[in-house]
Structure 1
Amino acid sequence: MPNSISKVLIGVGGGIAAYKVCELVSSLFKTGVEVRVILTNSAQAFITPLTLATLSRHQAYTDDMFWQPTHSRPLHIELGEWADLLVIAPLTANTLAKLTYGMADNLLTNTVLASTCPVLLAPAMNTDMWEQLAVQRNWQQLLTDSRYHGMSTASGLLACDRVGAGRMAEPPEILTYIQSLLHTGGKRDLAGKRVLISAGGTREYLDPVRFIGNPSTGKMGLALAQAALHRGANVTLVHGPASWNVPLGVQAIPVVNAEEMQQVMGEYFTSADIIVMSAAVADVKPRDYSTEKLPKRSLPQSLPLESVPDIVSQLAKLKQPHQQLIGFAAQSGDIITPALEKLQHKKLDAIVANPIDKTDSGFGSDNNQAVFLDKQGRHREIPPCSKLQMAHHLFDFVSNGKN
C-alpha cells in the first residue's frame, strides 16, 4: 500500500442501499484514508449530508454546491484531481446509464469525467431492473473502459421484498476492493489469467467427531483469492472448512480432507495459469475410520497413521512451462532453510516462508509476514502487514520474476 495518505471520493446514488455507505465511510476513516463524499439529489432522500460529513470528518458535497460554486476553481475539477480512487455506491440504473454515455448533469457525473483515477462501481437495484437488457448492456459496455472496476451484485431478500440478484456488495467487501485498488492503482495484470488457490486446513477424521487437523483458518488463501480477483483474474478457490464468506465473483469449492483437495486441485490444474498452494494440508491421517462415534473407552491407546497425498509434489510433476506453481512453508524458528529445501525438492517456481511463532502472524491472524523465495534465487522479505497486502506483494513478486 502507498506510504502517503490515500484519498478516496465516494459518490452516493439514490437507493435504499445508501445506508450501507455509512459503515464504509467510517471504516475507511479508521484505516487512515482521507474520505470525501458526494451525494446526488436522490441520495439525500435516503441519507443526509450531515451524517456522511460527520463520519468522514469533512463537508459532504451536494449539487447545490456545484451549481452555486464558492471555490476559486470549479468544484468538480478540484474533486476529480484530488481523488486517488472514486467509488460509486450504490450505483443506480440512472447513474449507470449516464456514465455509459458520458453524460454529466450533476456534481457526481461531472466529477467522474473530470477525473482520471480508477472508479469502483457497486450497483444496487431491484432484480427486474438489474436484469433488464438495457441495464446489462450498459453495465457490460461501461466495464470495457479500463478505468471502471465492477463489483458483482449479491442475491437475497431485497428491500422491495423480491428475492434475487441486485443487492449491493457489503461494506467489508467494498472496503477490501478499495484497498486492492489503492495498492495496484487499478492495474489488471492478471486479466485473462486463471488462478487456482488452495486454502485452509484439511481434516482427517478418526470417527464422525474426531479428526487430525491444524489451526489454519484459510484467511491467507481468502486474501489471495480477493487480490487475484481484483487484479482481473478468473479465480477458483479450493478450501477446507472455513467460517468466512466467499467473495462475490470467486468460484469456491469446499473440501474436507486431503484426498478431496487432491482430487479437486487435479481437476482444475490443467486449465490454471497460476497455482498457489496456501492450504495447510495434513501430513498424516488415521489408518482406520469408524462410521460411528467411538466411545471413549474404545479409543486406541496408540493411533495407527498413514500418509496422505503430497498434493504440491504431484502437481509439480504435471506442471507445464507456462504455469507457475507457488507453495507455502509455515515454519517456526529458521524459516528460510526448510523453505529453500521445499522449493527445490518439490520443483516450485516460488515459495512463501512465513513464521508461525511471531505475534499477530500466521494461523488465524488477519496479518502476516514472510520471506518470498523463487527458483531464480530472488529473496524478498515482507514485514508485518495485512494478509491482503501480503497477497498483493506475492502477485507483484511473481509477476516481476517471470521470464
Structure 2
Amino acid sequence: MKIKNTGSKIKVLLLITGSIAAVRIPLLVSQLAKENYEIRCVLSKNAEKIIKPLSLSILSRNSCVLEDDQWLNSQSSPLHIELSNWADILIIAPLTATTLSKWVTGNAEGLIPSILIANIKPIIVAPAMNTQMWLNKAVQKNYDNLQTYENLLSLHPSEGLLACDAIGIGKLPPNDLIQLALEFIASHNENPYRKDLLNKDILITGGCTSEKIDAARHITNKSSGALGLLLSQVARFRGARVTYLHGPLKIDKNLTDGIKRYEIETSFDLIRALNNEISNCDYFFMNAAVSDFKMASDTSSKIPKNKINDHLNKNFELVPDILKEISEFKKDNQVFVGFCAYTGSIEEARIIVKEKISKKGCDYLFANPIDLEGQGFGSLAKNEGWLFDTKNMEYYISKTSKIDLANKLITKIIAVKK
C-alpha cells in the first residue's frame, strides 16, 4: 500500500542484521525513500556479507552506518546514542536470534544491540530465521519477553518457502506490511503508540458479498475490503486478537499477513461465519458491504438474455439486515459498530443515520461519503466521516488516509465509556 507522506520527513533508523532475508531490505529502503521518509541504515557485520553498504547509501540518500563506525576517532558523541536520538521511529528487519538474545538480556556488544538497548522511540520488529531456530524454546522465551516492551510493534514471521528450501514459519514479513506498520506508528503524531487493546478480541467484517443470479452472472458492489483490513491490522498492532471475515479482496494480499481471516462469498456465508464468531468478541465492526439483493431460487445454467428479465422479476428478494439480526444476540459487555456509506450532504445523511443506529441495535455508526473526489473505494482512496452514537455524539474525522482513519476511529470508540 502506498500512502504518500506529504508532511515533514519522518526519520526512520533501519537496523539490518545477518539473516539471508536481508536481501529484501534494499527494496524496502527504496520503497520508503520514494514515500518521503528519511532513512538511515545500520548494518551488522554479518549483514555486510549479504548486502552492499553502497547500495543502501545510494537508495537511502544517506551514508550507511557500519559496525566499525561505532568507535571512530571522529565521533564527538557515542554513535549508538546519536542514532537513537536522531530517529523518530526505528525498524529492525530482519531480527536474528542472536540479536534478539543480546537485546532482551541487556548485552550491548555491537552497535545494533547498543542502539536497541538505548532506544526509547517506537520500534517495529520483523524477525526472520529458519523454522527450527524460530521454534526453539530459548528463542520463543526471548521473543515473549520482548512483547512486554511498551514501545515495540512486533510483526510475526510469515509462513512459506524459506532460504533453506524448507516450508514453514520464519520468513521476513512482507515489505508492504512493514511499511503499513510504519504508517500506523507515524499516524499517532503527538500521541505515543501503545498496546491498549491487549487481551481484547475484535471481530471485523469487510469487503463485498456476491449473490449468484445464474451460472454466469452475479450481484455485488465496489467494496475493496481495504478499510476492514486496515481496521484489522490497526487492532492487531494495538495488541488485540483479531478475526477478519471478508469477501474477495481487491487490494494487496501481502497486507493480510498476520491476520486470522476467513473469506466468504454470499450473505448466507457471512451470517454463518458471524454466528460462529460473534459470542467471543469484545468489539464487533460490521464493515462488510452486503449485497442488498439475492435470488430466491438457484440455477446451475445460464439464463438466456431474452428470459433474464422474467427470471429476475420472479426471484429477486431482499437480503436480511445482518447487523440488525446479529445485534439481537449482543451481550452487555460487547460493543457493536456499524458503517453507512452515503451520498449527498451530511445534513440529509444525519436523518438516515439516526434511524439506522436505532433500527440496527448497534452502539455506534460511522457514516462516510463516497461521492466526493478522491474518496470512497480502494486502498488508495482517502476518507472522512462522522461517528454517531445512540445519544447525541457526532465525532468528525477529517479527510485522511484509510490507515489513519482506522486508527482514529478505533481510538475514539475504545475511549468512550458505554
TM-score norm. by structure 1 comes to 0.95
**Counterpart among 199, 216, 222 of residue 192 in structure 1:** 199
Decide which moves more: 121-130 or 298-307.
298-307
CA distance in 1, matches of 2:297, 2:93: 53
CA distance in 2, matches of 1:278, 1:71: 53
CA distance in 1, matches of 2:62, 2:417: 44
CA distance in 1, matches of 2:215, 2:397: 40
Q: What letter matches 1:129 in structure 2?
A: M
Residue-by-residue CA offset, 1:310-356 (whole Å, 9 max, x unaligned) = 11111222222221111110111133332232123223221111111
Residue-by-residue CA offset, 1:255-311 (whole Å, 9 max, x unaligned) = 111111112112211111111011101122122220223343442334331121211
Residue-by-residue CA offset, 1:59-85 (whole Å, 9 max, x unaligned) = 111112102152322111111122222
Report the counterpart of residue 63 of structure 1 in structure 2. 67
**Counterpart among 374, 384, 404 of residue 389 in structure 1:** 404
Pairing 1:352–2:366 present: yes
What is the CA distance between 1:22 and its match in structure 2? 1.6
CA distance in 2, matches of 1:146, 1:384: 30
What is the CA distance between 1:55 and its match in structure 2? 1.6
Counterparts in 2 of 1:322 and 1:222: CA distance versus 1, 3 Å: same
CA distance in 2, matches of 1:382, 1:322: 26
SS of 2:243 mapped into structure 1 = strand
Report the counterpart of residue 159 of structure 2 in structure 1. 155
Report the counterpart of residue 278 of structure 2 in structure 1. 269
Report the counterpart of residue 326 of structure 2 in structure 1. 315
**Counterpart among 356, 359, 374 of residue 389 in structure 2:** 374
Q: What letter matches 2:151 in structure 1?
A: R
SS of 2:94 mapped into structure 1 = strand
TM-score norm. by structure 2 comes to 0.91
Q: What letter matches 1:206 in structure 2?
A: I
Residue-by-residue CA offset, 1:136-164 (whole Å, 9 max, x unaligned) = 22212222332333211111111221221
CA distance in 2, matches of 1:2, 1:105: 38
Report the counterpart of residue 305 of structure 1 in structure 2. 316
Q: What letter matches 1:199 in structure 2?
A: G
Decide which moves more: 232-241 or 177-186.
177-186
Report the counterpart of residue 260 of structure 1 in structure 2. 269
Decide which moves more: 294-303 or 162-171.
294-303
Decide which moves more: 286-295 or 74-83.
286-295
Report the counterpart of residue 294 of structure 1 in structure 2. 303
What is the CA distance between 1:56 and its match in structure 2? 1.5
Decide which moves more: 18-27 or 213-222.
18-27
Counterparts in 2 of 1:156 and 1:113: CA distance versus 1, 3 Å: same
CA distance in 2, matches of 1:71, 1:351: 56
Kept in 2, the 8 Å contact 1:7–1:33? The answer is: yes
Decide which moves more: 335-344 or 355-364.
335-344
Kept in 2, the 8 Å contact 1:20–1:170? The answer is: no
Q: What letter matches 2:383 in structure 1?
A: N
What is the CA distance between 1:238 and its match in structure 2? 0.5
**Counterpart among 7, 22, 44 of residue 18 in structure 1:** 22
Residue-by-residue CA offset, 1:4-46 (whole Å, 9 max, x unaligned) = 5422211001122112112222222222322211111111111
- Give the number of equivalent residue pairs: 403
Kept in 2, the 8 Å contact 1:153–1:248? The answer is: no
CA distance in 2, matches of 1:113, 1:26: 27
CA distance in 2, matches of 1:240, 1:259: 12
Kept in 1, the 8 Å contact 2:157–2:169? The answer is: yes
Decide which moves more: 286-295 or 307-316.
286-295
Report the counterpart of residue 125 of structure 1 in structure 2. 129
Kept in 1, the 8 Å contact 2:96–2:128? The answer is: yes
CA distance in 1, matches of 2:56, 2:90: 16
Q: RMSD over aligned Cα, in angstroms?
A: 1.9
CA distance in 2, matches of 1:81, 1:26: 23
Q: What letter matches 2:403 in structure 1?
A: L
Structure 2 unaligned segments of length 5 or more: list them.
none
CA distance in 2, matches of 1:402, 1:60: 48
Decide which moves more: 69-78 or 201-210.
69-78
Report the counterpart of residue 351 of structure 2 in structure 1. 337
Structure 1 unaligned segments of length 5 or more: list them.
none
